[in-house]
Chain A
Amino acid sequence: NAGVTQTPKFQVLKTGQSMTLQCAQDMNHNSMYWYRQDPGMGLRLIYYSASEGTTDKGEVPNGYNVSRLNKREFSLRLESAAPSQTSVYFCATKPSAGTGFGDEQFFGPGTRLTVL
Chain B
Amino acid sequence: ILNVEQSPQSLHVQEGDSTNFTCSFPSSNFYALHWYRWETAKSPEALFVMTLNGDEKKKGRISATLNTKEGYSYLYIKGSQPEDSATYLCAVNDYKLSFGAGTTVTVRA
* Chain B residues within 8 Å of chain A by Cβ, number: 25
Main secondary structure of the interface of B (DSSP, over half): loop
Given contacts A101-B31, A101-B95, contact A42 B43 (CB under 8 A): no
How close is B18's CB to chain A, nearest CB, in angstroms?
Answer: 25
User: Once the chains are docked, how many angstroms separate the CA of A40 from the CA of B45?
Assistant: 19
Interface size class of A (residues with CB under 8 A): 20 to 34
Evaluate contact between A110 and B43: CB separation under 8 angstroms: yes
**Interchain Cβ contacts under 8 Å between A and B, 17 examples:** A4-B43, A42-B99, A43-B99, A45-B97, A45-B98, A50-B95, A58-B1, A59-B98, A90-B43, A98-B95, A99-B31, A99-B95, A101-B32, A101-B93, A105-B46, A106-B46, A107-B45
Please list the residues of chain B having a beta carbon within 8 angstroms of any beta carbon in chain A.
1, 4, 9, 31-32, 34, 42-46, 49, 51, 89, 91, 93-102
